[in-house]
């Protein structure tokens, strides 16, 4: 199955749920869906187009909203499925019901961006320490690093 066939089949199966699609290079497809249609799109990609492997999930702080990019691969192509959620209500549906291995990437999105992944099977922290201050998300553009006070061993207080 070539890129054109994948795109045409995805459009036929998802209809107006596909907001944008591009094919900038051979074996590289970018598709955008509304966040409310994400789970349906992932199900179609897996069941009907063979995109059962999620290489990673990326997040991007766009200022007013977050863009989430799901990087899928099959034997023929790589497909990057994009969706956006507003920063004021950063909720996105977990895709773990369709692709269980996505859990690690979804947990990372929660830690690093403060996204709320609804219906995630395990929402514990993944990359940040348990005592990390609430509301501090290192990959947000507005995050400010505050260096902790330096402690010199043996120094008198």
Across residues 50-54, what is the average pLDDT?
A: 95
Summarised one tens digit per residue, pLDDT across range 99-151 is 999 999 999 999 999 999 999 999 999 999 888 888 899 999 988 877 777 88
Summarised one tens digit per residue, pLDDT across range 97-110 is 999 999 999 999 99
Q: What's the CATH architecture for 3-118?
A: 2-Layer Sandwich (3.30)
Summarised one tens digit per residue, pLDDT across range 65-95 is 999 999 999 998 999 999 999 999 999 999 9
Strands 28-33 and 53-61: unpaired
For the chain, the structural domain boundaries read 3-118
Tell me if 53 sits within 8 A of 46, measured CB to CB. Answer: no
Q: What DSSP letter does each residue of 64-130 carry, written as one string?
A: SEEEEEEEEE-SS-EEEEEEEEETTS-EEE--TTT-GGGHHHHHHHHHHH--EEET-S----SSS-T
End-to-end alpha carbon distance in the chain: 69
């Amino acid at each position: 199955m070539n890129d054109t066939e994948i795109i045409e089949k995805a459009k036929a199966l998802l209809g107006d749920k596909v907001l944008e699609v591009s094919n900038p290079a051979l074996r590289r497809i970018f598709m955008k869906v509304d966040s409310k249609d994400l789970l349906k799109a992932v199900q179609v990609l897996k069941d009907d187009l063979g995109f059962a492997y999620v290489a990673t999930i990326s997040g991007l702080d766009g200022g007013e909203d977050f863009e989430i990019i799901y990087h899928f691969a099959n034997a023929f192509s790589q497909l990057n499925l994009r969706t956006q959620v507003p920063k004021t209500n950063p909720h996105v549906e977990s895709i773990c019901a369709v692709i269980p291995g996505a859990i690690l990437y979804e947990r990372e999105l929660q830690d690093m961006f403060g996204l709320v992944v609804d219906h995630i099977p395990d929402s514990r922290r993944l990359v940040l320490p348990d005592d990390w201050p609430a509301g501090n998300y290192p990959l947000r553009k507005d995050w400010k690093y505050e260096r902790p006070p330096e402690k010199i061993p043996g120094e008198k207080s």
